[in-house]
Amino acid sequence: MTTANRTVQFKIYRYDPDRDAKPYMQDISVEIEVTDRKLLDAMVRLKVKDDSLSFRRSCREGVCGSDAMNINGKNGLACLTDMSSFPPGKPIVLRPLPGLPVIRDLVVDMTQFFKQYHSIKPYLVNNDPLPERERLQSPAEREELNGLYECILCACCSTACPSFWWNPDKFVGPAGLLAAYRFIADTRDQATSERLDNLEDPYRLFRCHSIMNCVDVCPKNLNPTKAIGKIKELMLQRAI
Amino acid sequence: MKYTVRKFDAVIVGAGGAGLRAAIQLSEAGMKTAVLTKVFPTRSHTVAAQGGVAASLGNSDEDHWHWHMYDTVKGSDWLGDQDAIEFMVRNANECVIELEHYGMPFDRLDNGRIYQRPFGGHMSNFGEKPVRRSCAAADRTGHAMLHAMYQRNVKVNTQFFVEWQALDLIRDAEGEVLGVTAMDMETGEVVAFHAKATIFATGGAGRIYYSSTNAFINTGDGVGMAARAGIPLEDMEFWQFHPTGVAGAGVLITEGVRGEGGILRNSLGERFMERYAPNAKDLASRDIVSRAMVTEINEGRGCGPNKDFVLLDITHLDPETIMKRLPGIHEIAVQFAGVDCLKEPIPVVPTCHYQMGGIPTNYLGQVVVPQGDNHSTPVPGFFAAGECACASVHGANRLGTNSLLDLLVFGKSAGETAVNELKAGARTHKPLPAEAIERTLARLDRLNTQKDGADVHETRLAMQRTMQKHAGVFRFKDMLKEGVEKILAIEQDVGRTQINDKSMVFNTARIEALELDNLIEVAKATIVSANARTESRGAHVRDDAPNTTEHPNGRDDKNWHKHTLWYRENNRLDYKPVQMKPMTVDSIELKTRAY
Amino acid sequence: MKRIVVGAHYGLKDWLAQRVTAVVMAVFTIFMIAAIAGGAVSSADAWRGFMAHRLVQIVSFLFAVSLFYHAWIGVRDIWMDYVKPPGLRLTLHVLTALALIGYAGWTVQILWRL
């Protein structure tokens, strides 16, 4: 491990509709310290150097999902990307998440992404009279939700999916489908049949062709493809 | 500059735990409600809470709300208001069960009930032995909770204004609150949200310190706005330093790690907490553990090349338990400490974590200020809940897992009180005072036209370094005095910050400058209040108030058993008595605090 | 009116059919490779004799039907992805379907004229 400060080169997608006629790639470098472990640390230094660079960030520990972007061609969270993971001597290329409209620089308009999330009715449906205490759920039943409920809605997966790029208004996308399965898998939820009906559609669910880009980029190591497979499995069970 | 006006029954500022909980209340009651939030709701910092939420469900051990109340009062070093504390702990079970009904994925016991783990300061039978009271969803309780509450809001159709930065509170000449001004970050448009009820749920301001577990967004926006509008801030000298932030990175490692059996060790490998808290050991309350750690480091028993951290050791625990109960911690240790905590201990240091003080409220969530003889007169139309508010349930030191409980109980109660007032027709849309909005516009205009001004980043950094050095875990008389002067000088720079980026579209440089306006109010309130309080209590410990027989732990109840109220105008200080009378039970009398 | 409409309530059958037909085609391919390796097509006459076998005709027909059904779903999805005007898309769907049905008839003719 080096102990000295070093200079890092960046190539960053820049676009401010207030000022720029069209987007361009900005070459910029910044000196980082040894303690700047993560890409986000370096970006905060970049922001000090050029305060017009816009990007979202909040928790800086990979749970809020704000700082998703396209890093050297692959979607990821800046706060979970190690500076040491970049090949030395080559500029780090940062672009906004692909497939969503750019508001400015690295900030994308996520309306469509959240619309799809909302479209799967992301809340527990249970019409039984409310018990006075908690509803019971065995540890094994609860375990079914592991790998599903941890999603941080960063949109790395959906914006890495060609089916979502092509039909963002019609294909729910990996994040939304993961959430859909999170409720289907919950023993407390009673709307399984409606949820399956809601997804039985050539676009909403069946535009997934299992190419697994979502699995490849998920910063929380979740597996939307597996969840989508389980939804299809349930539909099949229901149909035969 | 132009602005438009939009009318709502209620406007909620902030969509973290408290804001979302209040929003559920208002939306379910059919009120026309706007929830303003500067980040998408699930990005609020509640998402980072790890260990759990306290409730005396008694799923694993016998438990009772009265014991929880005792622990909270004791944890607060008797500075918490006992009516609010009783209200909170008595409503804990209901609020946690509601979350379960919303669909929150709590971990489960074999009998199907919610899993509970031990946490610092939570004891059974009035301080006898640790009790399992913290209801947890692995070590992602905040995430599970925030998402469950957002989902509930989706179900009840709450109207969110996402990525809107609130700017100023609107008060009229009578002091009534009529809404807020806010800016749409995407377009730079300024809108006055005219409301019959305004609820602040803007979270804490941990970013006044250099080293903090808090997110970048925790800039005390609501607290700053309230202060600028003439509302006093209560008990701002009390800041919790969480014992286990990852050394260097500041990222939080939950106390649940010690709840599951983790041990703190110094460079000699010694379990040093046995010396400081023979009974509760590593699960003593946070102020005590943090001070013990700093003492170990100061006395040369720190670890690492600079001897500047201690170690949190869980290598003796069953790896399966760690991966099941603390999977997020394993991830954090690898990502931010570069260690595999199954095999190596994690380097940790006390890190600024939680603001115990805030906007003074009562247990109904109403903001209260002194007026005439009454030191707690509600401000019409104004409510606050969560970390930005001071009910005061945490007093001089908060117990772990009481923060998530605070935001649930008081988020709900602020929402409920607002609904009741709205339904009773007690509130109308009084005319908006133009001057109030002009003030906001003038502030924006100043920032946009500032020349030869101060750099936002440098000014913020100077404030953070000053606060870290002058108002940290241990406080020193001379350092505090000097700190006040430094912060007041930095305030001058905050008044002349300059940004190079003048774009109207998603201008984060402008937002950071506006956030600094709020941070500096919090920093001033903190250091001025701390400088004045010449005793040691809870998280506020001074060198000139040491442990003596007359004043055990340096606590001076005769002179200082009272709440601080800091006013922005001339940094004036006022005080109000601690509410020692609970709602129904007997008062928990003053006693020396030991674990 | 421009409104995004989804919720056609079909898809599972097609998804399943695509997988089943793929399996049929894969099995047929292996069968044919084995037959070729076994010398079934060493000469034009041998091949003709092989194909005249009733069982071979039936599996060949199943293969062709699978291929056309598989192609129907695939091509239809391409039209759905790339052709936005509903009128044009419907026309292409119909033409595709008619062509594939025609091919199926043609296949029968070829297979059973032997």
Nearest to B48 among A61, A141, A142 (CB): A61
What pLDDT is stored for residue C6 in this prediction? Answer: 85
pLDDT in tens, A129-169: 999 999 999 999 999 999 999 999 999 999 999 999 999 99
Q: Check whether A3 has a pLDDT greater than 70.
A: no
Chain A and chain C share a number of CB contacts under 8 A equal to 42
* Cβ–Cβ gap A58/B45 under 8 Å: yes
The span from the first CA to the last CA of chain A, in angstroms, equals 59
Q: How far is A200 from chain C (nearest CA, A)?
A: 5
| Neighbours, chain C (3 or more CB pairs < 8 A) | A
* DSSP element (H, E) containing B487: helix B477-494
Task: Give Cβ neighbours of residue B257 (< 8 Å, ≥ 6 apart).
Answer: B139, B244, B312, B314, B326, B329
- Tell me, yes or no, if A236 comes closer than 8 A to chain C by beta carbon: yes
Cα–Cα distance, B262 to B259 (Å, whole number): 7
Residue A92's φ and ψ, nearest 5 degrees, are: -85, 125
Exposure string over B144-177, b if 16+ CB within 10 A, otherwise e: bbbbbbbbbbbbbebebbbbbbbbbbbbbeebbb
Euclidean distance between the first and the last CA atom of chain B, given in angstroms as a whole number:
58
Query: Which chains reach chain A with 3 or more Cβ–Cβ distances below 8 angstroms?
Result: B, C
Q: For residues A186 and A81, give the distance between their C-alpha atoms in angstroms, rounded to a whole number.
A: 32
Tell me the C-alpha distance between B482 and B191, whole Å.
40
Task: Give the confidence band of C2 by pLDDT, cuts at 50, 70, 90.
Answer: confident
* pLDDT confidence of residue C114: 63
Contact C7 A198 (CB under 8 A): yes
CB contact under 8 A, A58 and B147: no
Give me B133's structure tokens: 């009271």
Query: Which of A200, A231, A234 is the best residue to mutate to test the C interface, defined by the most C CB atoms within 10 Å of its own CB?
Result: A200
From B455, which residue of chain A is nearest by alpha-carbon distance?
A: A48
Q: Is the CB of residue B42 less than 8 Å from the CB of residue B147?
A: yes
pLDDT at B410: 98
Question: What residues contact B351, with CB distance under 8 A and at least 6 apart?
Answer: B211, B212, B213, B241, B242, B244, B245, B250, B252
Q: Which of C13, C15, C73 to mutate to test the interface with A (most CBs of A within 10 A)?
A: C15
B94 and chain A in contact, CB less than 8 A: no
A166 at interface of C, judged by CB pairs closer than 8 A: yes
Does the beta-carbon distance from C12 to A239 stay under 8 Å? yes
Residue B554 corresponds to which tokens in the numbers above? 């340096």
How do residues C32-83 score in pLDDT, each as one tens digit?
999 999 888 888 899 889 999 999 999 999 999 999 999 999 999 999 999 9
Distance CA B517, CA B262 (A): 40
Burial of A93 (0-12, 13-18, 19+ CB in 10 A): middle
Chain-wide mean pLDDT for chain C?
93
Residue B135: closest CA among B52, B210, B20: B52
Residues 6+ apart with CB under 8 A from B300: B307
Q: B47, A47: Cβ pair inside 8 Å?
A: no
DSSP string, A207-237: T-----HHHHH-TT---HHHHHHHHHHHHHH
Q: Can you say whether the dihedral through the CA atoms of B504, B508, B509, B510 is positive or negative?
A: positive
Chain A CB within 8 Å of residue C80 CB: yes
User: In what helix (H) or strand (E) does residue A46 lie, and over which residues does it extend?
Assistant: helix A39-49
- Walk me through the domains of chain C, giving residue ranges and CATH numbers: 12-112 (1.20.1300.10)
**Matching residue, tokens 């289907």:** A184
β-bridge mates for residue A95, sequence order: A70
Taking CB atoms and an 8 Å limit, are B105 and A135 in contact across chains? no
Q: Is the pLDDT of residue A92 over 50?
A: yes
Rounded Cα–Cα distance for residues B262 and B283 (Å) = 10
| Mean pLDDT of all residues in A78-105 | 96
Contacts of A169 in chain C (CB under 8 A): 4
Q: Is B506 on the interface with A (CB under 8 A)?
A: yes
Q: Is A103 helix (H, G, I), strand (E, B) or coil?
A: strand
Interface membership of A145 toward B (CB under 8 Å): yes
Q: Express as a percent the part of chain A with pLDDT over 90.
A: 96
Q: Which residue of A has its CA nearest to B46?
A: A64
Question: What does each C-alpha distance from A191 to A4, A71, A129, A196, B408 come to in angstroms?
Answer: 58, 39, 15, 9, 27
Residue C113: the pLDDT is 83
Nearest CA among C86, A216, C5, A132 for reference residue B97: A132
Quick check: A54 contacting B, CB < 8 Å?
yes
Distance between CA atoms of B481 and B466, rounded to whole angstroms?
A: 12
Contact list, C12 vs chain A (CB under 8 Å): 200, 206, 232, 235-236, 239
A123 vs B248: CB contact, 8 Å cut-off? no
In chain A, the residue whose alpha carbon lies closest to the alpha carbon of B500 is: A51
Q: Which residues of A touch C7 (CB under 8 A)?
A: 198, 201, 204
Which is nearest to A185 in space by CA: A219, A158, A147, A155?
A147
Q: Which helix (H) or strand (E) holds B228?
A: helix B221-228
> For strand B53-54 and strand B129-135, is the pairing parallel, antiparallel, or unpaired?
antiparallel
Residue B230: the pLDDT is: 97
Asked if residues B190 and B167 have their Cβ atoms less than 8 Å apart, the reply is: yes
CA gap A117, A110 in Å, rounded? 11
Q: Structure pTM?
A: 0.96
What is the DSSP-derived secondary structure letter of residue A141?
H
Number of helices (H), then strands (E), in chain A: 8, 7
- Residue B488 burial (10 A CB sphere; 0-12, 13-18, 19+): middle
CA distance A21 to B261: 59
DSSP B582: -
Residues from chain B that touch A66, judged by Cβ atoms under 8 A, are 39-40, 43
Distance CA B329, CA B310 (A): 17
Residue B193 φ then ψ, to 5°: -90, 105
Q: By three-state DSSP, how is residue B377 classified? A: strand
Nearest to B205 by CA among B218, B216, B186, B195: B218
> Rounded mean pLDDT of chain A?
96
Nearest CB to A61: which of B152, B186, B332?
B332
Give me the pLDDT at residue C7, please: 84
CA A78 to chain centre: 12
Angstrom distances, CA of residue B578 to CA of B81, B93, B134, B238: 6, 26, 27, 15
In the predicted model, is pLDDT for residue A2 greater than 70? no
Quick check: do A and B touch, 3+ CB pairs under 8 A? yes
Query: Tens-digit pLDDT profile for chain B (595 aa)?
Result: 678 999 999 999 999 999 999 999 999 999 999 999 999 999 999 999 999 999 999 999 999 999 999 999 999 999 999 999 999 999 999 999 999 999 999 999 999 999 999 999 999 999 999 999 999 999 999 999 999 999 999 999 999 999 999 999 999 999 999 999 999 999 999 999 999 999 999 999 999 999 999 999 999 999 999 999 999 999 999 999 999 999 999 999 999 999 999 999 999 999 999 999 999 999 999 999 999 999 999 999 999 999 999 999 999 999 999 999 999 999 999 999 999 999 999 999 999 999 999 999 999 999 999 999 999 999 999 999 999 999 999 999 999 999 999 999 999 999 999 999 999 998 999 999 999 899 999 999 999 999 999 999 999 999 999 999 999 999 999 999 999 999 999 999 999 999 999 999 999 999 999 999 999 999 999 999 999 999 999 999 999 999 999 999 999 999 999 999 999 999 999 999 999 999 999 999 999 999 8
Distance CA B505, CA B501 (A): 10
pLDDT at C1 over 70: no
User: Which tokens go with C114?
Assistant: 């032997």
CA distance A13 to chain C (A): 28
Say whether pLDDT at A1 is over 50.
no
Chain B within 8 Å of A66 (Cβ-Cβ)?
Answer: yes
| Residue B465 annotated in active site | no
For residue A201, which residues of chain C lie inside 8 Å, CB to CB?
6-11
Judging contacts by C-beta atoms under 8 Å, the chain A residues touching residue C72 are none
Rg of the Cα atoms in chain B: 23
User: Could you say which of B186, B216, B328 has the minimum Cβ distance to residue A60?
Assistant: B216
Identify the band that residue C5 occupies on the pLDDT scale cut at 50, 70 and 90.
Answer: confident
pLDDT at B391: 97
Burial category of B550 from C-beta neighbours within 10 Å (exposed 0-12, middle 13-18, buried 19 and up): exposed
Do B304 and B258 meet the contact criterion of CB atoms below 8 Å apart?
no
Spatial CB neighbours of A21, under 8 Å, sequence gap ≥ 6: none
Q: Does B500 touch chain A (CB under 8 A)?
A: yes
> Is the Cβ pair B140, A35 closer than 8 Å?
no
